[in-house]
């Protein structure tokens, strides 16, 4: 016995070939000239007997699949079963490519099967051939299909129609449901069907505890089967006599609703289940024109597209949430009667599908998370880069191949940093500027734009901190002016100077180094926190305006860092802090991920607690205020006696509220 298979290296095809090799005979495999190496690798990976696999070089887009007359003669009368599986199984593919592969490819396969006098033409169609038929679609139904506007549905329907009307050799048609991974191994070669929702489920798991009930959708019934069932059923039915001219639904006889299926995968991925599921049909009383108008509002479309993009869900998937078609599979059930071939329960193998996806196909695995991939040959400007956080960040981005521009007020340390970076093989330019002076900011902007053209990433790191209680600041209004001038107006001037070029180029990233104090509202830091809060508020407003222009704003609410800026407060020598290198790692994270905010869990908790229980939080902060006195420098007693060692209570409180300024 001899077989001819198109699409043998595809997902269903390779499992079918494995089954065919359990029988006697040779398997002729259609392969493009450029894909012969792929077939060789497939033979090795699947453990096939290479002696029984005969590659046939051809092309799906050419008549008779591109076989020469000599190839046709050599196969004539020798192929008992011609399996046509090659097609595009992708809802997101363009209409033209689907037309060529699914319709023209089927026509050319029929031509070849006729030319070589194949015993039977086995066509792999899809339940998509039924379109969006409202009701039960039987195996003997074809012309009744409706709702075929989607290119995939249309081409699968039309290609099946070619078999029914143009194929002169005996034929059998198989309509698989949505094909999932192998029920024993979980293996699958691409994301499709319910896999598109796995990223959402993963985010739910990362954000919420498993016991928390969540809101979901009910949806229509989604028919899914594992690939091993499809391959086993096709192999058995193809070799059973007396079934020519029939169509077979390879479907789950008891399909789950969309909400039930998603909950099965939620359990498999240890994510919270969607306890309250909404049936969207309850909104049918709203006229379709009104629903369409709302969906097409620019803000709604942008929000929808953003969510779908972040969750890696094709927009086409939304139209199948309320899939209206159910499938009768009596012909298949009769053909498989007496065998052990049956659709396993999704609950029994969903964990294998999830495990394989998470290890091999999770889109997060393929994101370039290297700093080099984000900054190589890009212009990165970092202020306050002569020491501390800025210096550590400059060294990291320069090592990753960035064109690093460092800015600071003092020449000596700044140029030392530049020389250190250049000596290590990096590209670095150093400019001195007093960012508390607007004229100096303008001169810096003009020089950088003239010499470098534009800035891709701006890191506003330069800052001034003052730790002094308000009671000691009544006659020190200049403290508030100085912090605002550098921390807010200086940073703002640079942003306003470099934004126009970023806007023209439709790319850019602005990273503002803020403070955990903005979230925790640390006492004694009113001047410092107010200046940082002003920059935070500006960034939140700006990111709303520039989001559509591919310009990101990131605020890093930095915890307490061991830098020269905190040196005057001797108490900080005894409290937990992070190093400048650890702080620079947060800047690296911001460059790679481009989030809106980076903050510690404690900082976020403090912000939430202050929002929901402001009076209780006020008591906590007042306790901290009373526990930690002003420093000698804040009292104007510089040069006086050595400060007292921190008390056990102070150390314990600072350890509990790790990273917060006191």
* Entry field: residues in the chain: 662
Kindly tell me if the per-residue pLDDT of 312 is higher than 60: yes
In whole angstroms, give the CA distance from residue 466 to residue 250: 72
What pLDDT score was predicted for residue 285? 59
Give the residue from 550, 442, 552, 444 showing the smallest Cα distance to 504: 550
Q: Provide the pLDDT for residue 393.
A: 95
Residue in the block written with tokens 């809101």: 215
Least reliable range by pLDDT among 305-314, 381-390, 398-407? 305-314
Q: What pLDDT score does 260 carry?
A: 93
Residue 132 pLDDT > 70: yes
Alpha helices in 269-377 (DSSP H): 288-295, 298-311, 330-336, 346-360, 371-375
Q: Is 265 exposed, middle or buried (0-12, 13-18, 19+ CB in 10 A)?
A: buried
The CA distance from 251 to 177, in Å, is 5
528 annotated active-site: yes
Whether pLDDT at 291 is above 60: yes
Provide the pLDDT confidence category of residue 472 given band limits of 50, 70 and 90: confident
Instruction: Give the integer Cα–Cα distance in Å for 554 and 596.
Output: 5
- Give the per-residue pLDDT at 307: 72
- Neighbouring CB atoms inside 10 A of 64's CB total 20
Provide the pLDDT for residue 100.
Answer: 81
Q: Which fold has domain 371-656?
A: Rossmann fold (3.40.50)
Q: Are 106 and 163 in contact (CB under 8 A)?
A: yes
- Report whether pLDDT(535) > 60: yes
The reported pLDDT for the residue numbered 63 is 93
pLDDT tier at 141 (50, 70, 90 boundaries)? Answer: very high
Distance CA 261, CA 347 (A): 9
Residues paired with 30 in a beta bridge: 56
pLDDT of 662 over the 60 cut: no
Instruction: Give the integer Cα–Cα distance in Å for 258 and 219.
Output: 5
Rounded to an integer, what is the distance from CA 28 to the centroid of its chain?
39
Here the tokens at position 652 are: 């314990």
Domain 1-176 has CATH 3.30.750.24: no
Tell me the three state secondary structure of residue 194.
Answer: helix
Of the listed 195, 196, 488, 528, which one is catalytic? 528
The predicted pLDDT at position 629 comes to: 66
Least Cα distance to 99 among 158, 58, 160 occurs for 158
Count of CB atoms situated within 10 Å of the CB of 590: 24
Same fold, 1-176 and 371-656: yes
Residue 565, SS3 per DSSP: helix
> Higher pLDDT residue, 660 or 551?
551
In terms of pLDDT, which residue wins out, 383 or 544?
383
Report the range of poorest mean pLDDT among 184-188, 288-292, 488-492: 288-292
| Stretch 190-217: mean pLDDT | 89
The whole-number pLDDT of residue 637 equals: 64
Residue 316 has pLDDT above 60, yes or no: yes
> What is the overall mean pLDDT for the chain?
88
* Secondary structure (3-state) at 603: helix
Reduce the secondary structure of 376-413 to three states and give it as a string: CCCEEEEECCCCHHHHHHHHHHHHCCCEEEEEECCHHH
Confidence bin at 547 (pLDDT 50/70/90): confident
Kindly indicate the confidence band of residue 644, based on its pLDDT and cuts at 50, 70 and 90. low
Which H helix or E strand runs over 621? helix 614-627
Q: Where are the domains of the chain?
A: 1-176, 184-221+254-321+340-367, 371-656
User: Is residue 43 scored above 80 in pLDDT?
Assistant: yes
Q: Is the pLDDT of residue 573 over 60?
A: no
Phi and psi of 628, rounded to 5°? -110, 110
Residue with tokens 């001819």: 4
Q: Answer whether residue 158 shows pLDDT above 80.
A: yes
pLDDT(631) > 70 = no
Q: Which residue has the higher pLDDT, 29 or 321?
A: 29
pLDDT(174) > 70: yes
Above 70 in pLDDT, residue 293? yes
Cβ contact 623:522 at 8 Å: no
**Contact call for residues 89 and 192 (beta carbons, < 8 A):** yes
Read off the pLDDT of each residue in 187-200 and give the average, rounded to a whole number: 90
Mean pLDDT confidence for 520-540: 88
Q: What is the mean pLDDT of residues 290-298?
A: 71
For residue 577, count other CB atoms closer than 10 A to its CB: 19
Between CA 293 and CA 312 the distance in angstroms is 25
The secondary element (H helix, E strand) that includes residue 586 is helix 580-593
Band (469; pLDDT cuts 50, 70, 90): confident
Please compute the mean of the pLDDT values over residues 343-361 and round it to a whole number.
Answer: 96
To the nearest 10 degrees (0 to 180), the angle between helices 411-423 and 388-399 is 20
Q: Report residue 49: phi and psi, to 5°.
A: -80, 105
Higher pLDDT, 418 or 305: 418
3-class state of residue 171 by DSSP: strand
- What is the pLDDT confidence band of residue 520, given thresholds at 50, 70 and 90? confident
Higher-confidence residue of 381 and 95: namely 381
Report pLDDT for 475. 81
- Would you state the pLDDT for residue 334? 96
Torsion of CA 580, 586, 592, 598, to 10 degrees: -160
Both tokens of 204, joined, read: 């739910």
336 pLDDT exceeds 70? yes
Q: What was the pLDDT predicted at 562?
A: 67
What is the model's pTM? 0.75
């Amino acid at each position: 016995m001899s077989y001819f298979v198109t699409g043998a290296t595809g997902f269903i095809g390779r499992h079918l070939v494995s089954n065919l090799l359990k029988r006697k005979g040779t398997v002729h495999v259609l392969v493009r000239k450029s894909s012969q190496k792929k077939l060789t690798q497939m033979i090795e990976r699947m453990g096939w007997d290479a002696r029984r696999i005969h590659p046939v070089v051809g092309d799906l887009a050419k008549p008779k699949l591109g076989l020469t007359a000599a190839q046709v003669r050599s196969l004539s009368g020798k192929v008992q079963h011609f399996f046509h599986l090659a097609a595009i199984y992708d809802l997101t593919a363009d209409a033209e490519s689907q037309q060529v592969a699914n319709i023209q490819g089927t026509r050319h396969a029929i031509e070849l099967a006729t030319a070589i006098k194949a015993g039977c033409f086995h066509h792999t169609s899809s339940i998509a051939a039924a379109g969006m038929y409202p009701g039960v679609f039987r195996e003997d139904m074809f012309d009744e299909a409706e709702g075929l506007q989607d290119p995939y549905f249309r081409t699968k329907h039309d290609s099946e129609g070619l078999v029914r009307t143009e194929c002169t050799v005996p034929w059998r048609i198989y309509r698989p449901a949505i094909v999932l991974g192998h029920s024993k191994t979980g293996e699958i070669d691409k994301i499709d069907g319910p896999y598109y929702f796995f990223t959402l489920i993963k985010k739910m798991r990362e954000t919420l505890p498993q016991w928390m009930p969540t809101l979901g959708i009910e949806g229509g019934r989604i028919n899914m089967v594992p690939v091993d069932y499809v391959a086993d059923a096709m192999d058995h039915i193809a070799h059973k006599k007396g079934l020519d001219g029939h169509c077979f639904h390879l479907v789950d006889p008891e399909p789950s609703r969309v909400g039930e299926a998603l909950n099965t995968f939620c359990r498999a991925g240890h994510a919270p289940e969607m306890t309250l599921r909404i049936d969207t049909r309850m909104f049918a009383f709203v006229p379709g024109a009104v629903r369409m108008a709302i969906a097409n509002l620019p803000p709604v479309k942008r929000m929808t597209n953003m969510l779908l993009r972040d969750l890696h869900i094709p927009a086409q998937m939304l139209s199948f949430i309320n899939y209206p078609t159910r499938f009768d599979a009596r012909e298949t059930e009769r053909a498989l009667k007496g065998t052990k071939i049956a659709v396993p329960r999704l609950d029994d193998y969903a964990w294998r599908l999830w495990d394989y996806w998470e290890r091999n196909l999770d889109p997060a695995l393929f994101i370039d998370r290297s700093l080099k991939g984000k900054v190589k040959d890009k212009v990165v400007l970092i202020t306050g880069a002569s020491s501390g956080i800025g210096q550590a960040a400059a060294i990291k981005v320069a090592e990753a191949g960035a064109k690093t521009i460092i800015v600071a007020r003092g020449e000596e340390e700044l140029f030392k940093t530049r020389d250190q970076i250049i000596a290590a093989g990096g590209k670095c330019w150093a400019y001195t500027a007093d960012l508390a002076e607007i004229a100096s900011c303008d001169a810096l902007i003009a020089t950088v734009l003239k010499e470098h053209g534009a800035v891709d990433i701006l890191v506003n790191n330069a800052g001034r901190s003052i730790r002094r209680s308000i009671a000691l600041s009544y006659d020190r209004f200049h403290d508030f002016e100085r912090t605002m001038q550098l921390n807010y107006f200086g940073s703002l001037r640079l942003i306003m100077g470099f934004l126009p070029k970023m806007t023209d180029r439709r790319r850019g990233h602005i990273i503002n180094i803020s403070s955990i104090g903005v979230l925790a509202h640390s006492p004694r830091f009113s001047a410092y926190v107010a200046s940082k809060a002003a920059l935070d508020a500006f960034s939140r407003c700006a990111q709303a305006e520039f989001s559509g222009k591919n310009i990101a704003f990131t605020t890093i609410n930095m915890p307490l860092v061991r830098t020269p800026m905190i040196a005057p407060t001797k108490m900080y020598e005894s409290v937990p802090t992070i190093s400048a290198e650890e702080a620079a790692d947060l800047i690296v994270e911001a460059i790679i991920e481009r989030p809106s905010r980076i903050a510690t869990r404690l900082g976020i908790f403090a912000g939430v607690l202050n929002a929901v229980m402001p009076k209780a939080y006020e008591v906590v902060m007042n306790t901290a205020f009373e526990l930690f006195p002003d420093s000698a420098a804040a009292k104007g007693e510089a040069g006086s006696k050595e400060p007292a060692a921190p008390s056990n209570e102070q150390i314990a409180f600072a350890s509990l509220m790790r990273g917060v300024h006191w």
